[in-house]
Amino acid sequence: MDPAPRERLRALFDAAVAAVAAERVVPPALPTAPPAGRTVVIGAGKAAGAMARALERHWPAPLNGLVVTPYGHGVTCERVTCVQASHPLPDGAGADTARRLLDLVGGLTADDLVLALVSGGASSLLALPAAGLDAADERAMGAALLRSAAPIADINRVRKHLSAIKGGRLAAAAWPARVVTLLVSDVPGDDPATIGSGPTVADPSTYAQALEALERWQVAAPPRVLAHLRAGAAGGPGAPDETPKPGDPRLARASSVVVATAADALRAAADAARGLGLRPIVLGDRIEGEAREVGLRHAQHAIDLLAWSAPGEPAVLLSGGETTVTMRGRGTGGRNTEYLAGLALGLEGRAGVHALAADTDGIDGAGGHAGAFVGPDTLVRAATVGLDLGAALRDNDTGALFARLGDLLVTGPTLTNVNDFRAILVEPA
């Protein structure tokens, strides 16, 4: 691949990530004045450590607290303890931290302020099963959901109804303190109740809707999980409690603000594109669907643009959101490499089209890469070394294919997360 297109695509990705960095988005969103009582910081997610550090640097009063972030995403804070736990499947460290967070906000008064820092990844990190369930139930259900094609809203609808801390329960535990939540959104639509399974946000969903989501996406639930959800849906004496709903008095002093979104990242990338002499065309910040199929659709967009653009008028198609991967093979998945494989197959080696797709958190699926690049020569180079993109897709092993080609984008954890970033550079000859 010509290094010039790759460098321009990487510059767009870097601009997108920089626009949603914690140091940039947290300080303007902080309350204007400290409380009369204590300031307690809590948080979870891939950006939680960086958000806590930014908060510390700009908060003018004493504070203490605890946040949890995935292994490898930790940062050094001065007054907030930053611990690490497993993602995307939970472990004991996540459960221990969830208990500590509930203890930390217990016993606060109306004079106290809780600053909650929530970003993508919080759902897995705050792993505290509801009464009657255990860690194995929650982990098995999480694995089944991640293998499915269910969108994140439905996945988190189920997660909230299996948890002792998600779906507003953490904010309810902090009552009567004031709770202000700052959210870095990794979900299409930026719904605060969906981001990180909304531990401090009222949950409008129900047990019945969680069951409907499992049925809709044909996700098999462990027996105890299914029994728990059915009991909650049935209600009556001894049934599991519903999550706190809008209007719950325990959440009357809770508020939230989304401080970073995919749209913010795309706007920054579009500005950077103009600076590089490219015409930005934003396809949307809420794109969902099976990753390989979205790639095929975007290939057609690029082909159409190539056909209708005049020579010397380069453009870039930008998009965000969260695609899905239905795991059927033995590979490690990865939304962005599956998208790129579908894109490359759809482009069929068209000259003048190069692309980058990557997760803004720096981790695509279970791999150590953020995403990858494709160019007009991708299919030919793959065939030359005996690789087949179609076969890689069937085995959900596209990350390994792009690694063999030397086309992976490796950034390490970016300490933010507004989900997928995709850029298709179209340069008519």
| Helix or strand holding residue 382 (H, E) | helix 378-384
- The CATH number of the domain where 57 resides is what? 3.40.50.10180
Is 358 inside any structural domain?
yes
Name the residue range of residue 410's domain.
3-14+263-426
| 257/105 Cα distance (integer angstroms) | 20
Residue 214 lies in a domain: no
Query: How many C-alpha atoms does 426 have within 13 Å on its Cβ side?
Result: 24
Domain count, the chain: 2
- Is residue 211 domain-resident? no
pLDDT of the residue at 332: 82
Are 330 and 381 part of one and the same domain? yes
Q: Which pTM value belongs to this model?
A: 0.95
Q: Is residue 104 part of a domain?
A: yes
Instruction: List per-residue pLDDT tens for the chain, 429 residues long.
Output: 456 999 999 999 999 999 999 999 999 999 999 999 999 999 999 999 999 999 999 999 999 999 999 999 999 999 999 999 999 999 999 999 999 999 999 999 999 999 999 999 999 999 899 999 999 999 999 999 988 889 999 999 999 999 999 999 999 999 999 999 999 999 999 999 999 999 999 999 999 999 999 999 999 999 999 999 999 999 999 999 999 999 999 999 999 999 999 999 999 999 999 999 999 999 999 999 999 999 999 999 999 999 999 898 999 999 999 999 998 898 887 999 999 999 999 999 999 999 999 999 999 977 789 999 999 999 999 999 999 999 999 999 999 999 999 999 999 999 999 999 999 999 998
Q: Please state whether 374 falls in left (phi above 0), alpha (psi between -120 and 50) or beta.
A: beta
N-term to C-term CA, the chain: 16
In a domain, 142, yes or no: no
Cα separation, 116 vs 343, in Å, equals 39
Phi-psi region of 283 (alpha: psi -120 to 50; beta: other; left: phi over 0): alpha
What strands lie across the sheet with 408-409, from one edge to the other? Answer: 279-287, 315-321, 420-426, 353-359, 371-374, 408-409
Q: Is residue 77 part of a domain?
A: yes
DSSP state of 81: E
Measuring CA to CA, how many Å separate 16 from each of 165, 269, 350?
Answer: 32, 5, 26
Question: Do 285 and 254 share a structural domain?
Answer: no
Helix or strand or coil: residue 212?
Answer: helix
One domain, residues 42 and 186:
yes
> In CATH, what number is assigned to the domain containing residue 380?
3.40.1480.10
The backbone torsions φ and ψ at residue 245, rounded to the nearest 5 degrees and listed phi first, read: -100, 165
Q: Are residues 275 and 184 in the same domain?
A: no
Maximum Cα interatomic distance, the chain, rounded to a whole number of Å: 71
Of 260, 289, 324, the residue at which a domain comes to its end is 260
**251 and 290 inside one domain:** no
Q: Are strands 420-426 and 353-359 parallel, antiparallel or unpaired?
A: antiparallel
Query: Quick one: 99 and 195 in the same domain?
Result: yes
Shared domain for 71 and 201, answered yes or no, is: yes
Query: How far is Cα 152 from Cα 16, in angstroms, rounded to an integer?
Result: 22
**49 and 187 together in one domain:** yes
Q: Indicate whether 154 belongs to any domain.
A: no
The answer to whether residues 253 and 269 belong to one domain is no
Per the listing, tokens 């482009």 go with 347
Q: What is the DSSP letter of 367?
A: S
Whether 52 and 10 map to the same domain: the answer is no
Tell me, yes or no, whether 311 and 189 share the same domain.
no
Backbone angles phi, psi at 220, to 5 degrees: -80, 125
Based on the domain organization, do 251 and 277 belong to the same domain? no
pLDDT tens digits, 133-189? 999 999 999 999 988 889 999 999 999 999 999 999 999 999 999 999 999 999 999
Residue 271 and residue 274: Cα distance in Å, rounded?
A: 5
Quote the tokens at residue 232: 């909650």
Amino acid (one-letter) located at 328 = R
Which residue has tokens 């993109």? 389
396 within a domain of the structure (yes/no): yes
